[in-house]
Structure 1
Amino acid sequence: MSGRYFEEWSIGDTIAHPVRRTVTEADNLLITTLTHNPQPLHLDAEYAKGTEFGRIVVNGTFTFSLMVGISVAETTLGTLVANLGYDAVRMPKPVFIGDTLRIESEVTDLRASTSRPEAGIVTFAHRAINQRDEIVCTCTRTALIRRRPQ
């Protein structure tokens, strides 16, 4: 277990997650086809050449999922009761095949659970950043986290 218990978090805690990931054509193709997304911007190189991007843009659901997935090891692994919600998902810059992403997470809110005394609620602000130091995806994740066993 590498996640933290509720009591181990403080507002402002920031993590630069050690895992980085280069996005591949297979990543984009799999998420796009598995979710039945027919958007040619994600699938058709010839179509994408004629857009303002000039090439295939990686499916945003992949970018979002990768960002959250990379954050799990140092935030909620082994301590998560449930994710309560994802809010304010933004994608200010496109992701392209071959981009390498790194993830940062910051605790923005903490509160005790009123319905579950054995847990607390932690809100994380996640950021995905490419190799050009551009933020490509952000969101807030609210998680119900176990308290340290007594």
Structure 2
Amino acid sequence: MLNKILYYEDYPVGEQGETCGRTFTEGDLVQFAATAMDFCPPHMDRQMMTSTPYGERISHGYYLNSLATGMFSWHAPYIVGRDTPTACLHSLTSHFPAGMRIGDTVKFHWTIQEKNEDPELPGFGIVRTFFQFINQDGASAAEGTVVTRVMMKNTEENVKPTFTPGIPWEFEEWNPDFNRIYYYEDFEVGKGEKTGSRVITETDVVNYMGLVGDYDRLYLDAKYAKGTLFGEKIVPPMLVADLVGLSLRDGSYFNIKKPFAPYAGHLGDEISFLAPARIGDVVYNVFKIESARVSKTKPDRGVLVLGTQVVNQRDEVLVETHLATTVPVKAATAEQFETMWVLHSIKQG
């Protein structure tokens, strides 16, 4: 595997695979919560979750996204560019039909579904690979698509992708009332905020690699990385995406009071990897509410799309994400929920 160079032509449409099982443990959950700064009740409050259909704490959606890249890295490394200097991750989309509870064992299925010439970069192609986590009951815990950019065989070696960072979004400053309970009707499209920052360390990278099993030399081997599309070591792209957790650490949306509801709020994600991060980068989030609608099939809940950008110290957007989540509709609620989803309550005096 280490000595064979793969090109776009070497990715056959229809190729598929299935892995052995992996059991989701409390250790996985706690370590990822620390990485992503996401200590929300569905992941951390066992007592609360016993009153839901899940009966147990559930995985973070972003853990499943990260585990997908890790499972590919271990079992089909060329899909995500591990030890494949001609390929790199472009984007990932996902949704979570059943979710994953502590103690669940999942197998990872994947199929190369489609490939096309890259319309933005001559000499490269785009490969789309569908993935699915199937649990011990045969249900789909998560599924989605990984998009990989791969060099074609006849492309000159000096032709490399241009990793162009994005521009931070503009937004209308959100100043929520932390004493009220927010239903779907209370959220305004366009409202947003900027978070505090944190540095990405080599310890972050090493811990992440061990958690999800993504041991790409691109992250730690400077000599190898010099010959890749990036030309130097980078931070794992999904680790950078996981740092949307700064919006949980600092942001208002995840710290206001919201009604408790017996269903998971995280429906799915769209993640674009625009430019790489390096160890030592200092990143922050730009967060805003992008859209809002009442569910067509379940009118008791609304669907919000929350946009988040991971931005470095030069105000360059490295990763852009769009997360779909559900919130109870007040107009469809017969009575106010007695139990509130709130991370903390502080009273002065």
TM bucket, shorter chain = 0.7 to 0.9
Unmatched 5+ residue regions in structure 2? 1-39, 41-177, 337-349
- TM-score of the superposition, structure 1-length normalised? 0.83
Match of 1:127 among 302, 306, 309: 309
Compared CA separation, residues 45 and 4, structure 1 to 2 (3 A): farther
Match of 2:252 among 50, 74, 79: 74
The equivalent of 1:39 in structure 2 is 216
1:53 CA displacement: 4.1
The equivalent of 2:288 in structure 1 is 106
Map residues 1-150 of structure 1 onto 2, 5 A cutoff: 4-17=182-195, 19-51=196-228, 53-67=230-244, 69-72=245-248, 73-77=251-255, 79=258, 81-87=264-270, 89-113=271-295, 114-115=297-298, 117=300, 119-147=301-329, 150=336
Paired residue secondary structure (2:243):
helix
1:25 CA displacement: 0.3
Q: Which has the higher contact order (CA 8 A, sep 6+)?
A: 1
* CA RMSD of superposed structures (Å): 2.5
1:8 CA displacement: 2.4
Q: Distance in 1 between matches of 2:187 and 2:278?
A: 34
Deviations 1:81-106 (A, max 9, x none): 4101101x112111000000110111
Instruction: Give the count of matched residue pairs.
Output: 146
Which residue type is aligned with residue 26 of structure 1? Answer: T
Deviations 1:57-113 (A, max 9, x none): 00011111111x1123422345384101101x1121110000001101111111123
Unmatched 5+ residue regions in structure 1? none
Q: Distance in 1 between matches of 2:285 and 2:321?
A: 11
1:32 CA displacement: 1.6
Runs of 4+ in 1 over 3 A off after TM superposition: 1-5, 49-55, 76-81, 146-150
Paired residue secondary structure (1:75):
coil
- TM-score of the superposition, structure 2-length normalised? 0.38
